[in-house]
Structure 1
């Protein structure tokens, strides 16, 4: 096959040859690939292909019009929208995010949960002027997964006391609230004290600090609380020692405790259970936590299913980020 048509100068028009059309189609595809796949800018493409920027823009528009570029919109592949909707309805949650369980993944399970939670947090900060953070191991993975941003209007505040770090040269050398604040590009207000004290007198002295008092006063005024959740298997606190022994945890469990949150224990119905640390910690109370409109909890794992059910019954969480296995077990226990 030679040519589709021939040049017709007598009629004052020129028709493109088949070869020319093929070269044009190849150029359209190349420009589209450079822009949409390789990430080159229109200016860079124009320079490398000896084209004007207007021509590049026209070719990109043609690529969409002719179906060279096809846009498909669907749910994120690492989330499970149908299961999320089921959980929202079953537990009357304002929102629910579930990371998909995968047998193989670039991320370990905790890191994947942290990544999904971080992405959800960063896309749901509209109207949040103050973010309260209750430091935990799980939230540490969230902090590491946040993309650097600039939220000059955002204040991040500790909901639990945490000693200041002298060396802030690395992520591991600062505590979770401050790390989250650095990633989001906001302003940080600490509660510079130990979370738990062996000596009640030392705790009372710490409470006299204007900085500590100011931070504790601001905490319940947060627009969003970012929370982890503790099971009855362990209690580390955020300090340098484990304040509750395994034996004491067993006694608390025998007394009805099902979980702990912000250092406070509660039973299967979400009612607080007094413990030996209640009067030795510095941080937000469960009653004050309920004053915060949005309470976002990030937790997952077999040991967290019963505690999570209790936290939901107590109203301590209305936005949940968890994984597929935990969500399915939570629903199974409901039945």
Structure 2
């Protein structure tokens, strides 16, 4: 067959360009092999490939679904000085398994042989514990750092979460023998003076690692852990004081400052002022509605590591730049 040297593209030549481009870049065939098949010289095949690039027959894209997550991780790390960020590409409000797996890996790395690990409650924290692989940490201690919700669904409550994680690690655990919220500040103060309560809270306040969720405070809701605990008047007061969410039971405003209300004085949890003294505070939180709460905690320097998903990370960064 006579070797043709056409270089101008037309409608008749386009199928040839597609054939050559697909054979080379998709099927990974050599130029010599392609030339032998179509009856062109090897140099002509090289020119056809160049022409295919120039005319947009072939387009290159370097990327991966994780690329956007990596970019967001860098942005959050740079903006808030976080030690670790893990972002799931899956929408965790629909399926939290990937975010929980990422958080479980981060938590596993943080738990040293003699680690004291504080635990809170909610939905995200037990999801992380369920995703944990067994580790041998017999000298570690798991400490309940927030009072008990005492609901029928104890799978989201601190005692059950502590027991399960201790089992994963072969570790011991210490429970906080008190409810999360009591009827008055006076009752809470009396309970804090009880040795079993005071020693557990002191231990939580001096933990090496804290695993916690972040809850949102909105006009209509204050999160699962406070269902039926906050009176309408208290809720309105928190909103007027600027509360956007809560961490370890304590309400914070948009700058991460503690909103110390009467409700907070009814609370039994690790002292707010101790949070910044804990070397590693891993927050696991997702959902666009939590963006103000997460941003407040980040601005306040209350967490050192964050696990969330792409939509939530985007919402947090957008809100920070607004």
User: TM-score, normalising length from structure 2?
Assistant: 0.70
Name the SS of the counterpart of 2:244 in structure 1.
Answer: strand
Question: For structure 1, which segment, 183-192 or 108-117, has the greater mean C-alpha deviation from structure 2 after superposition?
Answer: 108-117
Equivalent pair of 1:93/1:318 in contact (CA under 8 Å): yes
In the alignment, structure 1 residue 225 sits paired with structure 2 residue 225: no
Q: 1:273 to 1:208 in 2, by over 3 A?
A: closer
Which residue number corresponds to residue 116 of structure 2? Answer: 130
Q: 1:171 to 1:332 in 2, by over 3 A?
A: closer
Which residue number corresponds to residue 81 of structure 1? Answer: 70
Task: State the shift of 1:238 in Å.
Answer: 4.8
Q: How many residues align?
A: 255
Structure 2: unaligned runs, 5 residues or longer: 1-63
Q: 1:200 to 1:247 in 2, by over 3 A?
A: closer
In the alignment, structure 1 residue 253 sits paired with structure 2 residue 239: yes
Distance 1:209 1:222 in 2: 20
Name the SS of the counterpart of 1:296 in structure 2.
Answer: strand
Which residue number corresponds to residue 294 of structure 1? Answer: 280
Which residue number corresponds to residue 152 of structure 1? Answer: 138
Which residue number corresponds to residue 285 of structure 1? Answer: 271
Which residue number corresponds to residue 22 of structure 1? Answer: none
Tell me which protein shows more helix as a share of its residues: 2
Which residue number corresponds to residue 269 of structure 1? Answer: 255
Equivalent pair of 1:133/1:158 in contact (CA under 8 Å): yes
Distance 1:86 1:244 in 2: 36
Distance 1:268 1:313 in 2: 8
Q: For 1:57-206, list aligned pairs within 5 A.
A: 80-101=69-90, 108-126=94-112, 129-162=115-148, 174-206=159-191
Q: For 1:45-60, list aligned pairs within 5 A.
A: none
Q: 1:172 to 1:200 in 2, by over 3 A?
A: closer
Match of 1:315 among 277, 280, 301: 301
Q: 1:76 to 1:178 in 2, by over 3 A?
A: farther
Whose relative contact order is higher, 1 or 2, with alpha carbons under 8 Å and at least 6 apart? Answer: 2
Task: State the shift of 1:275 in Å.
Answer: 1.9
Name the SS of the counterpart of 2:146 in structure 1.
Answer: coil
Name the SS of the counterpart of 2:136 in structure 1.
Answer: coil
Distance 1:262 1:89 in 2: 25
Structure 1: unaligned runs, 5 residues or longer: 1-74
Task: State the shift of 1:135 in Å.
Answer: 1.8
